[in-house]
Amino acid sequence: MRLLRVGPRGSEKPAALDSNRKIRDLSSIINDVDGVALAPDSLAILAATDLTSLPELDAKSRIGACVAKPGKVICIGLNYSDHAAEAGMDLPTEPVVFMKATSAVCGPNDSIEIPRTSEKCDWEVELGVVIGSRAKYISEDEVDSVIAGYCTGNDLSERAFQLERLGTWDKGKSHDSFAPLGPYLVTKDEIPDPQNLKLWTRINGETLQNGNTSTMVFNVRQIVAYLSNFMTLEPGDVILTGTPPGVGMGQKPPSYLKAGDRVEIGIEGLGEQDQTCIQA
């Protein structure tokens, strides 16, 4: 099942794609694609629904973030060995964890804002894991039971803010528009192996990232179980699991986003995003 949210920012309707890829309005069944709707019982009701019986929404409508108001956006850094190498950083011995402000969340095709005083705005295609059940101190064997599904994410970063200023990474990761999610939340039954998905980035038509989740240092099960030891994961939380090589910082010479640039990212089975950069 592919869940999405369509409509103007702040007024999105919950929806799903039917077998003919028509967008069907779920408003009569759920209020939004949020933590409540992503609980196992709710997803079972949606899975049993005849989507063709529901009203069709305009295919040209804006697509919002595939999860409404996530409580947390948790990110894993340096989780592909070749990306750590291009960044000139040692391979981590346990997951590198940081957070994005939830105000950074936006739709998959919304404009990317280049922050004021930005020098090094960068792209990072990432597999997003969406939590469907509360998780605290769980084992790797229990992880599948708490995942609702997966999505395409872009962990946009301002490298100068992130790495050259005092403090943690968060301020380089949290500008408005720095967490596009979607277009779809694809339920886990349609993604039997999240560790074998192609993911890519094109900047102004040139493919610069071309990786596979099979090369993660820490896999999805390891990441979710690990995080559950330090914080309670709640339904609707989103985990971005790291990026393969090919980011702007790793180009020779480094290359960063500027107003007018086009950013296209995608993950096999999870859909593509298409963004234009604008000045904040």
Question: CATH number, domain at 188?
Answer: 3.90.850.10
Give every residue of the chain whose pLDDT is below 70, as ranges: none
Same structural domain, 123 and 152: yes
Looking at residue 89, its pLDDT comes to 75
Residue range 42-89, pLDDT digits in tens: 999 999 999 999 999 999 999 999 999 999 999 999 999 877 777 777
The domain containing residue 98 runs over which residues?
A: 73-279
User: Which are the contacts of 44, defined by CB distance < 8 A and separation ≥ 6?
Assistant: none
Looking at residue 82, its pLDDT comes to 78
Looking at residue 91, its pLDDT comes to 84
Same structural domain, 28 and 135: no
Same structural domain, 217 and 100: yes
Spatial distance between the Cα atoms of 178 and 168, rounded to a whole number of angstroms = 16
Same structural domain, 115 and 251: yes
DSSP, res 90: P
pTM: 0.97
Quick check: is 66 in a domain? Answer: no
Token duo for residue 37: 């709707």
Same structural domain, 148 and 29: no
Q: How many domains does the chain have?
A: 2
Same structural domain, 128 and 242: yes
Same structural domain, 223 and 265: yes
Quick check: is 260 in a domain? Answer: yes
Same structural domain, 40 and 87: no
Q: Token match 């593509």: residue?
A: 272
Same structural domain, 209 and 88: yes
Spatial distance between the Cα atoms of 183 and 187, rounded to a whole number of angstroms = 13
Quick check: is 45 in a domain? Answer: yes
Quick check: is 58 in a domain? Answer: no
Same structural domain, 37 and 143: no
Spatial distance between the Cα atoms of 178 and 169, rounded to a whole number of angstroms = 13
Same structural domain, 141 and 15: no
Looking at residue 87, its pLDDT comes to 75
Quick check: is 78 in a domain? Answer: yes
Quick check: is 65 in a domain? Answer: no
